[in-house]
Every structure is written in structure tokens, then in C-alpha cells.
Amino acid sequence: MTRDMRRYWDEQAEGFDDAADHGLVDPAVREAWETLLLPLVPGPGSDVADLGCGTGSLSLLLGGAGHRVRGLDFSERMVDVARAKAERTGVSAEFVVGDASFPPFAPGSFDVVLARHVLWALPDPGAAVARWTRLLRGSGTLILVEGLWGTGAGIPADRCLEVVRGHRKKAELTMLDDPALWGRAITDERYLVVSAPG
């Protein structure tokens, strides 16, 4: 990640949670994400890495469900917002500044690695997924929320599956076209890839 990219995301931090799927302020949107993610995380009490956590909304959702979450983001300002939200809500989660391409965590230290809207932005997605899978304890669970957005940015679902299957035996795709997840109807490609044990 470059200094310009860090500056860009630092500048986005203040208004980042205004998007319904970022801040999860709308109870219906929050419930949709809980319904999607909580059944995928073994537990309670799983160790979860939230890579590219932004303002920590998913970290706090999982922390509030009793999981031990460490959120990582390249933007110091995003991490500041995430820490403030954790303090304000009383939800336990740890947030650190770092590059999701090279997470500064010990191998085999997590039950789950989660990344939402991160893989598409990395210079070498395959190398990143290889590093992410090494963070998993045993076979662990890799959860990716990605998309190919109307702006042209993103990663197509078939390419994301190919990347994950290059490092994991099993990966399943679910399209995320339910407006409840985004707070509005969508017309672009948004999806979930889960690589679970088995």
C-alpha cells in the first residue's frame, strides 16, 4: 500500500460510516449482517482477524457476539474511529494499524480470517490469501466479502474463487444481492466466499 492510498483512506474515515453497510447503524442492515456472518464463525469465543477492518463495524458485531477480534487497517484514522466506537459501545475488540497484505500476526493464531472489500485492492491477491490462510489455526475458516462494483473496481466472483482455491481445498460462493445487506437495492456483483474446514 502506498502513502497516497493511506492518505485517501484517512480522508474517508470521518464519513465512512454514513454508508449503511459500513456503519451498520440501521437495525435492519445490522441484523442482515449478523444473520449472514454469525453462523459462519464457530464459537462462541473464536479468535477472529478482521483484515482491512475500516471503522471496525464487523469487528464490533463479532466482538459483541462473544468472539475475540483483532481488527487491522492500513489507515490510522480508520483505526482511531474503530477504537472510539469500541470504547463508546463497550464492546471488546483490539485494533491495530498495519497492511492487510502482510498482517503482523503469528501463524496459526486465529480460528477465522475475515476480509470485507479488501482483496480486490491488493497488488497480489494470491499472495495475500496465502498469508491469510497461514494465520488460521488448524484448517480454520476464511471469509471474504467482495464484489465487482458499478464503478468498475473490484474482483469478479469467479476470479476470487480461483484465488482462494489456489490455497484451500474448499471454497463456496454465495451471491449477496439482498438489499437488506446494503440498505438499498444493488445492480452490481457482490458476494461471499467461505472456505471452511472439511
CATH number for the domain harbouring residue 31: 3.40.50.150
Cell reading at 132: 491469510
Q: Is the pTM of this model over 0.85?
A: yes
Domain that includes residue 70, residue range = 3-195
Run of H or E residues at 197: none
Q: pLDDT 10s digit of each residue in the chain, 198 long?
A: 577 777 877 787 788 888 888 989 999 999 999 999 999 998 789 999 999 999 999 999 999 999 999 999 999 999 999 999 999 999 999 999 999 999 999 999 999 999 999 999 999 999 999 999 999 998 799 999 999 998 889 999 999 999 999 999 899 999 999 999 999 999 999 999 999 875
Total of domains in the chain: 1
